[in-house]
Amino acid sequence: MKISPCFRLLMLLLSANHLFAQSTKWEFGPSLLSTHYLGDLVESKYPVPDGGGWGGQLHLSRHLGEAFSFRINGSYMQLKGSDLNFAETRTYRSFSFTSSLYELALLGEWDLLGRRRYDKGRLKKTFSPYLMGGIAGIYCDPK
């Protein structure tokens, strides 16, 4: 089944994180990912229609007050690339690969304007820039 790049972009933009817990101390959310390989097996600077895959992510956050939280992310992505996508110049080589990529990340978040997001203990929807840092591990097995 072929899926257009525009549809993938639309799904990526529409996949929003949801707050499933009853308390604002815990947050859980899914994300839908669209992946594209840009490297030796791609001639253009832009993703090609046949060079993408799908993925997903789950995150769980624990808020430690109004400005700090810890977060764990688990992600799965599909990657692929092929010289056959470029009939004119690289078909003689016939290189290709497919790979599943798994990522687990432990992150800390600092909400720079976090105190403004809360009104009597309830979370308000507002613009709120943040800084994030942490450590992640990735497992990938290209074939």
Among 78, 96, 75, smallest CA distance to 86 is for 96
62 in Cβ contact with 101 (< 8 Å): no
3-state helix, strand, coil in the chain (%, to 5): 10, 50, 40
Residue 37 pLDDT = 72
Residue 104 pLDDT = 97
67 in Cβ contact with 91 (< 8 Å): no
Residue 20 pLDDT = 40
Query: Which residues of the chain carry a pLDDT beneath 70?
Result: 1-24, 39-51, 83-92, 117-123
Residue 139 pLDDT = 95
pLDDT digits (tens, 9 = 90+) for 16-34: 444 443 346 888 999 998 8
Q: What is this structure's pTM?
A: 0.66
**Secondary structure tally for the chain: helices H, strands E:** 1, 7
